[in-house]
Amino acid sequence: MNSQFSPVIAGTMLWGSFGRKLNTHDMAHLIRHCVLNGIHTFDHADIYGGYTTEADFGTAWVASEIKRSDIQLISKCGINMICDARPFKTGHYDHSMDHIIRQCEASLTHLATDYLDLLLIHRPSPLMDPHVVAEAATKLKEQGKILAFGVSNFTPSQTDLLRQLIPVEYNQIEFSVTHHSPLTDGSLDHMMLHKIRPMAWGPMGTVFKHQDEQSRRVRKVTAELAKKYEVEEDTILLAWIHAHPSGIIPVVGTADELRISKLRQALEVRLELEEWFTLYQAGMGHPVP
C-alpha cells in the first residue's frame, strides 16, 4: 500500500471545464501551490471535464516543472459518460478488460506519466465480472502502469467480490458530517477489518452548499469550534474526518489558493471526544442512541 499520499488530497474535478476552467498557466500555478502546502496527491477521473481535465492537468504539470517523484497521481475509470467526446445514447458503466486497460493507458498519456500511483474503478456496475476486473488490474500492475488498485463507491459485498481475486487497497467513498452513513452501514468497519484505506470525496458535505436545517445545525457547531481552535470552519470538518481510526484521507475539490494553504491545519486540530460527538449529533439531527 502506498503510504506516501498526502493527508489531504487535491481533487481536480472542478479545475477544468466542469468548474473553474483554469488555463495552463493558472493550473500549473495551482499545482505548485498545492505541493508547497503539503498537498502532493492529485485525484482525477477519465470523465472529468468531459474527458479533458486529465490532459489539461498533464500539460500544466509539465509546465510546473515539478518532478514526477514529488507528486502522486490517482485516476478512476469505468464510467461511460454522455458528452461531446462520447455521444452515447445512454450513460453506462463499462468494466470490460479492454475498457479498463484502454482508459488507464489514455490517462497515462493525458497526464504525461508512465504510471499511476493508484487506479480506482469509479463506480460498481450491476454487470461487473470480478474476474475480468481483477485480470485487467493485475495486467496493469505487472506492466508497471499502476502501483496500487482500489475502488470507489463500492459497498462491502461489492468490494469482497474483487478482494477474493486481487488486493483492494483503497475505497473512495462519499463521507462527511452531513453524509455519515458509512459510520453505521458497515463500510468503514469493513475497510478497517480488511486493511483498506478509505478516501472521502465530498468531505465538506452540504455544509457550505445548502441552507437546510442539517447544514445550519452543523454550521452552528463548526463556527463555535473554529473560534475555539482559531481555524476556518472547513478545517474543523476535516479534523472531524481525520479523527476516525481508519485513517480516512479527505479529497478536497477546492481550487481556492487561500483555502488550500490552510487545509493541512486540520492535522493540528485534535477535537475533544464530546466535540466530535457534538458535530456528529448535529449531522444526525438527534442524540446518539
The grid coordinates listed for 278 are 457534538
Catalytic residue among 48, 51, 170, 229: 48
Of 99, 102, 104, 108, the C-alpha closest to 120 is: 104
Is there a contact between 24 and 61 (Cβ–Cβ < 8 Å)? no
The one-letter amino acid code at 264 reads: R
DSSP letters along 92-130, please? EE---HHHHHHHHHHHHHHTT-S-BSEEEE-S--TT--H
Q: Is 48 a catalytic residue?
A: yes
CB atoms under 10 Å from CB of 230, counted, come to: 9
Alpha-carbon distances of 273 from 159, 221, 227, 265, 279, rounded to whole Å: 31, 14, 18, 19, 10
| Beta-bridge partners for 73 | 42
Active centre residues (catalytic): 48
